Amino acid sequence: MLTKGQMKIIYDAEKQKVPIKLWLEDIEEGAMQQAMNLANLPFVFKHVAIMPDSHQGYGMPIGGVIATEKVIIPNAVGVDIGCGMCAVKTSIKVEQLDNETLKNIMNEIRKKIPVGKIHQKEEQDQALMPMLLMYNSRVPICSREYRSALKQLGTLGGGNHFIEIQKDTNGYVWIMIHSGSRNLGKQVADHYNKVAIRLNEEWYSSVPKEWQLAFLPMDSEEGEHYLSEMKYCVLFALANRKLMMDRILDIFRCSMIKDGMVTIVDNEPMINIAHNYARMENHFGKNVMIHRKGATSADPNDIGIIPGSQGTKSYIIKGKGNPESFMSCSHGAGRKMSRTKAQNELNLCEEIKKLDDQGIIHGIRHKNDLDEATGAYKDIDTVMENQKDLVEIITELTPLAVIKG
Domain residue ranges of the chain, discontinuous segments joined by +:
2-336+378-404, 338-376
In CATH, the number for domain 2-336+378-404 is 3.90.1860.10
Alpha-carbon gap, residue 331 to 295, rounded angstroms: 5
Q: What is the pLDDT of residues 134-189, one digit of tens each?
A: 776 789 999 999 999 999 999 999 989 999 999 999 999 999 999 999 999 999 99
Contact in structure between 401 and 106 (CB atoms under 8 Å): yes
**pLDDT, mean of residues 101-125:** 95
Q: Which residues have a catalytic role annotated?
A: 331
**pLDDT, mean of residues 199-228:** 97
Contact in structure between 134 and 231 (CB atoms under 8 Å): no
Alpha-carbon gap, residue 310 to 332, rounded angstroms: 11
Beta strand 216-217 pairing with 391-404 = unpaired
For the chain, the average pLDDT equals 93
Q: Tell me: pLDDT of 239 over 50.
A: yes
Q: Tell me: pLDDT of 2 over 50.
A: no
**pLDDT, mean of residues 237-254:** 96
Which contacts of 22-29 are long-range, i.e. CB under 8 A and separated by 24 or more positions?
22/49, 22/50, 22/54, 23/49, 23/50, 23/51, 23/52, 23/325, 23/330, 23/386, 23/387, 23/390, 24/50, 24/51, 24/52, 24/53, 24/54, 24/383, 24/386, 26/378, 27/54, 27/61, 28/55, 28/56
- pLDDT reported for residue 354: 83
Contact in structure between 363 and 404 (CB atoms under 8 Å): yes
Q: Tell me: pLDDT of 204 over 90.
A: yes
The pTM of this model reads: 0.94
Q: Tell me: pLDDT of 4 over 60.
A: no
Say how far residue 20 (Cα) sits from the centre of its chain: 22
Query: Where is average pLDDT lowest: 176-180, 341-345, 396-400?
Result: 341-345
- Count of beta carbons in the 10 Å neighbourhood of residue 188: 30
Q: 263: which DSSP letter?
A: P
Q: What is the pLDDT of residues 286-327, one digit of tens each?
A: 999 999 999 999 999 999 999 998 889 999 999 999 999 999
Contact in structure between 215 and 200 (CB atoms under 8 Å): yes
- pLDDT reported for residue 337: 80
- pLDDT reported for residue 259: 56
Alpha-carbon gap, residue 92 to 131, rounded angstroms: 35
Contact in structure between 216 and 289 (CB atoms under 8 Å): no
Q: Tell me: pLDDT of 334 over 90.
A: no
Confidence of residue 356 (pLDDT cuts 50, 70, 90): confident
